[in-house]
Amino acid sequence: MTAIAYALLETPLWPLMNKFYRSHQSSMKASKEAQLWVARQEQIIAGLCLRPAAHGHWLTGLFVAPASRGQGIAARLVNCAVSACEGPVWLFCDPELQKFYEGLGFSLDVELPYALHERLVRYQRNKAMIAMQLTPTP
């Protein structure tokens, strides 16, 4: 079996990220303002977006193909992506994912930029969501 490669997706290949999401009936979409990170094993098996926000980044769109789950791929992909970030990294997730993200160093001790706070409030109208933050160590 081919080794899994974790890397930033090159700009000309960005349409592959949306194709990956659609192929798994995910409602997620790649953002053109974001860095798109993928895990590949010949084809994309996981992806996420890191969007610039205030003085940090907002992590969105983390998705692992169902056949590839349970192998630590999401954790390795998140770690690769955020290791290159300066400033805090924020994310919104279902409360059931809190322990997963805490294992990666994220915490509920969050100082959201105003724009992300407003977005979280809108999202919380329709579903349970929590905000988490990873603060890089100097």
Query: CA-to-CA distance for 10 and 2, rounded, in angstroms?
Result: 20
Query: CA-to-CA distance for 65 and 33, rounded, in angstroms?
Result: 23
pLDDT at 135: 86
pLDDT at 110: 86
Is pTM beyond 0.75? Reply is yes
CA angle 14, 66, 128 (to 5 degrees): 85
pLDDT at 1: 62
The average confidence (pLDDT) of the chain is 92
pLDDT at 138: 60
Pairing of strands 56-64, 130-134: unpaired
Task: Give the mean pLDDT of 26-46.
Answer: 90
